[in-house]
A and B are shown apart, each in its own frame.
Chain A
């Protein structure tokens, strides 16, 4: 059966649609020890994972909300009104033909199978709590690359998975890493063997379909010595009456000389609390690069980090945030230098539209005993309307006198004269605004893979269209 959607069917925010739930497994509302047991039983978790989850649950309950520095909007999350696990009980399929019709249609509308055919080495498509589809090109898996969901990773590849799981981001790192550690389901596990350079990106897509639901994917990527991979993730959710929670933990490990790029283009609906912890460890001469684009959500708190643990390791965060009315993008980066001659680079650009608020928080840490570390931080904010807001909180701690750090920040506004000039050339006010905004982030958009930069530009155009009368 095939159904075509009429144009009127498709909302301008591409992800705003959902199908009726048909969950075989539903953990119910609220998070208690019995919820954890339910999840463990359904997932058939080994005992060590059950113990891990239960310890995490306690940490989650013990830790206060970080409202002493973060927004009080966090207090509006109703943890007892959220369902922590939903799935139809099916195993991820290797072929789209085997994926249930509604799920398949969902991902087709989001363009995932098409992208896979065009330029991806592997795809994992998660629908609520579990992966519905998972496939990797044979040529890539033949090289020993593992690309599965985390549940399969921890069972089938425990010897690689377990030594790193929860080591880059300990359970108690923050309240939401503890929450994820307790309730995690889905997410990717990737291992790239020594010297293997995966030519095309691996992609995961995280889709929320159900109301009053929390998605807690857990991703662990290990790139062995001299290996290289690019991983991309996208995410959407329909807009429900109530708010939705997304709280992921992503841990990256780049062994000696490895290169790992992690690209995110998120386009959450405007009622999602998106509270994500992302961090990578870069060993000697390794490189971890986060390319992060935050569009949508009610509140995003996300500060991708790199711990440069080996000599000459490099860390980079390229970040774009777009905050429209009713949205708060609280994003930034953490660069922890823990070895000599390590280099980090942060470039962050934010755009605030209407009543939107963008916050940059950056932490750079270079201790006294190290030599010849370098950090460069640039953060630029663009305000579209007079009611738009931006805040910058850089925390740079550099001790010792053998390091080089540089910090630049700017705030600018699209001027009426700029818009008039473009209008005089025939562009509508909305088009002129889009062009200005695209110009502002142009140098960063180039860092995204081509296919994603096109998508990014389209998303920004959509946001801007709405922002002018």
Chain B
């Protein structure tokens, strides 16, 4: 069981962004993707989720063997792929609770109603882990939320939807250290042998709290280096320049 990406090429408009990206995240593992600005990190997240602004020109992406690139965005979600957005979207007038219910209802077989009582029990339990006030259930999705509240809300959705694979796109951006710890706590609570994570981040800081099994470095649309957690520490200490030189040498 894995999220497998092979030789993925993608572009937006006339610009090629992913240029042959290959990586595989087996279930049960947490992989981090680091890389300088503009290397294609967020593009990878959006391409996997099926954003219509991006066109896949070559390569494959499969989730437990199923071709997710052939699916609509909502099918990918129901197939078990979750994306925690870097900039979560506001949905005025739709309460958080109703949104989550609708998302869970969409996963029910035809004609089966979600058990409302069980739903609320579960939601409240998850909110407690994330130290979220109960009032967030009746507030409109992300509307008027602070940056940190939005990120917690993403993790709440992750915890409720229980995907097979979760892509976290710069979940640490805009978080202070306390919020970061809480968010990491939520993610760590979701780690399990049946679930894989792809954690996209610019900074090593997040990886102190969500410890990765594998660290990949993305540059110019390709994975240029893969290593253990110590790779992230080295990048934090030395930046990316040494790696750029290394890439140039091998190229």
Contact = CB atoms under 8 A, between A and B. Distances in A.
Interface of A: 415-418, 420-429, 431-432, 435-436, 438-443
B227 interface: no
A417 B91 CA distance: 10
A431 B99 CA distance: 11
Given A426-B161, A429-B74, 17 more contacts: A417-B89, A421-B91, A423-B73, A423-B77, A424-B50, A424-B73, A424-B74, A424-B85, A425-B157, A427-B103, A428-B72, A428-B74, A435-B91, A435-B98, A436-B94, A439-B91, A439-B93
Q: Is the interface of B mostly helix, strand, loop or mixed?
A: mixed
A411 to B, nearest CB: 14
B93 A441 contact: yes
A435 B103 CA distance: 11
A383 to B, nearest CB: 15
B77 A418 contact: no
A418 B83 CA distance: 14
Nearest to A439: B93
A424 B83 contact: yes
Contacts of B93: 438-443
Interface in B66-98: 72-74, 76-78, 82-83, 85, 88-94, 98
Contacts of B103: 422, 425-427
B107 interface: yes
B51 interface: yes
20 contacts: A415-B89, A420-B49, A420-B51, A421-B89, A421-B91, A424-B74, A424-B83, A425-B77, A425-B103, A425-B157, A425-B161, A426-B103, A428-B74, A429-B72, A436-B91, A438-B94, A439-B92, A440-B92, A440-B93, A442-B93
A421 B52 CA distance: 12
B58 interface: no
Given A421-B88, A426-B106, A431-B102, A439 B140 contact: yes
Contacts of A427: 74, 102-103, 106
A423 B103 CA distance: 9
Contacts of B98: 435
Contact residues on B (Cβ < 8 Å of other chain), bracket: 20 to 34
Contacts of B73: 420, 423-424
B43 to A, nearest CB: 14
Nearest to A416: B52
A428 B77 CA distance: 10
Nearest to A443: B93
Nearest to B84: A424
B94 A435 contact: yes
Contacts of A438: 93-94
Contacts of B107: 426
A440 B107 CA distance: 25
Residue in B49, B72, B73, B83 whose Cβ sees the most chain A Cβ within 10 Å = B73
A43 to B, nearest CB: 47
B94 A439 contact: yes
Interface string B88-126: 111111100011001100110000000000000000000
Contacts of B90: 418
A402 B124 CA distance: 51
